[in-house]
């Protein structure tokens, strides 16, 4: 069974940094792209970032470019999201998800399954 478990969320001041982790199990982690999606309180889902199975190709939403960095350690089956220069509008639950369906040409894939999420609050 595929399982994803996020951690690392918490309360951080504006301008601060936080690193989220997503521990994966139940599949060949290095074979699949992964993604981060966030959900602000009472709001909808927002795609944040994705990266390839090998970690060499990364992609970001405009809201994350220049501030967030996605990475992975395939030896530890773990996905990361380093978030810097945090703003109040980054307050959200952050979910990691497996990009399923394809190991190459993974833009054709779909987000499944998702972890339970980790909450990030940016406030002074």
Partner 1 sequence: QSALTQPRSVSGSPGQSVTISCTGTSSDVGGYNYVSWFQQHPGEAPKLMIYDVSQRPSGVPDRFSGSKSDNTASLTISGLQAEDEADYYCCSYAGTYTWVFGGGTKLTVL
Determine if 23 is a binding residue for partner 1 (CB under 8 A): no
Q: State how far the Cα of 36 lies from the Cα of 104, in Å rounded to an integer.
A: 19
CA dihedral sign of residues 23, 28, 30, 31: negative
Q: State how far the Cα of 16 lies from the Cα of 117, in Å rounded to an integer.
A: 20
Among 115, 118, 120, 122, binds partner 1 (CB under 8 A): 115
For residues 80 and 70, is the Cβ–Cβ distance under 8 A?
yes
Supply the minimum distance, in Å, between the C-beta of residue 64 and partner 1. Answer: 11
Determine if 101 is a binding residue for partner 1 (CB under 8 A): yes
Among 95, 118, 120, 122, binds partner 1 (CB under 8 A): 95
Q: Interface with partner 1 by CB under 8 A: which range of 17-25, 66-74, 76-84, 108-116?
A: 108-116
Cα–Cα distances in angstroms (integers) from residue 18 to residues 84, 113, 120, in the given order = 7, 24, 9
* Residues near partner 1 (CB under 8 A): 35, 37, 44-47, 50, 57, 59, 61-62, 95, 101, 107-108, 110-117
């Amino acid at each position: 069974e595929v399982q994803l478990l996020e951690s690392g969320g918490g309360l951080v001041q504006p301008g601060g940094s936080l690193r989220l982790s997503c521990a994966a199990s139940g599949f060949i982690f290095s074979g699949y792209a992964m993604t981060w999606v966030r959900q602000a309180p009472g709001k909808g889902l927002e795609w944040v970032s994705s990266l390839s199975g090998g970690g060499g190709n990364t992609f970001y939403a405009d809201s994350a470019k220049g501030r967030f960095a996605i990475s992975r350690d395939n030896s530890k089956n773990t996905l990361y999201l380093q978030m810097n220069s945090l703003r109040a509008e980054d307050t959200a639950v952050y979910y990691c998800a497996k990009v399923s369906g394809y190991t190459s040409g993974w833009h054709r894939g779909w987000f499944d399954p998702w972890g339970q999420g980790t909450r990030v609050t940016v406030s002074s």
